[in-house]
Structure 1
């Protein structure tokens, strides 16, 4: 774990009576047996039925942004203060593997290829890798994710001003917002229309041609084998050629889209701010609007036993699929 001054030591998350009613940012189905959701102030919730939630013991109060499980017992969560947490009991208890509030950079997503090899990414190109299940984490810098002129700029700085080179290297990359594993290919999206892909678990990356200049917050593949990415101001795009080219989806929403996900019946869901909830049954050609009347932001979601579970700014919301017609 990263060393920090004593006054920066983490504090255990408070046990809140209504933890399932506050901001939650991500949720995962663990082997179709249980659910784990994460959110603000270090809250992590677990459930076996999607209705009743138990708050886990968590050693940090940092806001958490993403959770990932590699099997039914072992998972990781990441968030602000470069926090990385691990569980080995299905989410009931968590240990802190990395904590560095002095970086002032949050982690936004985490992915593990297996129980040993994982990466965590975040603001300003923050990128950590582990090869030992998170016992140790090393930072990486990937210049191939920069535009060509930015690479040349850094190379020149390295020769002429090493101190400024170190400063710029820590801020020149865009925010890395989301990772998505598509078989053996790993995609990453982020700020300023950033999209990249890797075929070796993120050791090397290929930055794709820019097609949009706003931030992208999620990417997924549909049941029809097309890629969908979503972002600011209701912008969403579709690719039928592994991300080489993209076309804009026609939506009647201007709210920022935070997440996109699909189910095994071919339904595609886009969720976002202002209660935005859109569903397509024709691979993004058209969408039905099921946005929530309360207008509360939806951050993520998934399908669970014929129910749509949404993580929102006011906690977990459940919608029966029979209502989405």
Structure 2
């Protein structure tokens, strides 16, 4: 099942592709293509001075010259990849359909497979079977029943986002309440489905963190915030009832965004929310904080939206070659990397923000 508006776009692209004999994409390396950097790419991240982008059919590309040229990475799978996280310049993780998790130790040039949906499913059945013997809580029972159902029908669930706050600790999240935690760089994983505060098993679309705070967004306008003391995600209902694709954390502020140009802001850790008006009704698919009061959003209509006043107003950033955008990330020298329907591009920030961020790069 496709997990977001981005997934729907990807599905449409795949439907138009020519048919070939089936090869399991979870066991088939990504094909080399001179057009990889111009094919649909979904997520982007910065690995030191390098820019890395991931997308369809296992394509991963990287640039060491601020997007002037791109090289294709060696990837052991050809499943669609939708998100990537680099906590350090060398160590990175990417996730995608089939429950795939791949790992790089060289800044995204080469990758190895760490996990897939079948192994995650078996892990969940074993973990919750043992946990049920000592902790027969409703949450544990529900997680075990779901894990057994998943294992029985032989299906795997897509992972839709990944977040690592260090080279050892991170989360992967996805459809139907899938969430796993690692503390050893992905060598082992712990299911967190009973800690998700998500009894309806809604899809998780994004996970983001800043300064020890971790936030999930998902279906039906739901947000979940990590209670570090309890190691449990606490559910928060926003005024919105549609899908929230992602969030931007900026100091004490939380912005969440999703379908039909929906953007909501909380200045008090999610206790209260206000709707923010933006000059487009297209689905917002990505966002990033640029510094205090400054933020960028991108959407499926090829619009980049900028605020320099903490979301009170937004202006449209005019770019020379717009496309449907699926993700946005940091790039060196005060630039941004934009992933979308026509690949990945590096563009300049508004001039004031280039000056503010150039020194940090």
Q: TM-score, normalised by structure 2?
A: 0.75
Q: Secondary structure at the match of 1:233?
A: helix
Cα offset for 1:130?
2.2
CA contact (8 A) 1:193 1:216 kept: yes
Determine the C-alpha separation between the residues in 2 that align with 1:135 and 1:288.
44
Cα offset for 1:293?
7.6
Determine the C-alpha separation between the residues in 2 that align with 1:28 and 1:236.
23
Q: Does 1:81 align with 2:133?
A: no
Cα offset for 1:18?
1.2
Alignment deviations for residues 75-98 of structure 1 (CA, whole Å, 9 cap, x no partner):
110000000001111111100011
- In structure 2, list runs of 5 or more residues that go unmatched: 1-22, 119-153, 354-361
Q: Structure 1 pair 324/123, CA: closer, same or farther in 2 (3 Å)?
A: farther
Matches within 5 A, 1:20-35: 20-31=37-48, 33-35=49-51
Cα RMSD, aligned residues only: 2.4
Q: Does 1:268 align with 2:285?
A: no
Determine the C-alpha separation between the residues in 2 that align with 1:18 and 1:232.
30
Q: Structure 1 pair 7/215, CA: closer, same or farther in 2 (3 Å)?
A: closer
Cα offset for 1:134?
1.1
Find the counterpart in structure 1 of residue 186 from structure 2: 134
Q: Secondary structure at the match of 1:81?
A: helix
Q: Structure 1 pair 72/14, CA: closer, same or farther in 2 (3 Å)?
A: same
Determine the C-alpha separation between the residues in 2 that align with 1:201 and 1:273.
38
Q: Structure 1 pair 235/324, CA: closer, same or farther in 2 (3 Å)?
A: farther
Cα offset for 1:253?
1.1
* Larger fraction in helix: 2
Find the counterpart in structure 2 of residue 45 from structure 1: 61
Determine the C-alpha separation between the residues in 2 that align with 1:324 and 1:299.
25
Q: Secondary structure at the match of 2:237?
A: coil
Q: 1:287 aligns with which of 303, 310, 314?
A: 314
Determine the C-alpha separation between the residues in 1 that align with 2:252 and 2:71.
36
The aligned length equals 294
Find the counterpart in structure 2 of residue 227 from structure 1: 254
Q: TM-score, normalised by structure 1?
A: 0.83
Cα offset for 1:120?
0.5
CA contact (8 A) 2:286 2:298 kept: yes
Q: Secondary structure at the match of 2:232?
A: coil
CA contact (8 A) 2:246 2:285 kept: yes
CA contact (8 A) 1:37 1:44 kept: yes
Q: Does 1:213 align with 2:241?
A: yes
Determine the C-alpha separation between the residues in 2 that align with 1:73 and 1:144.
30
Q: Does 1:125 align with 2:125?
A: no
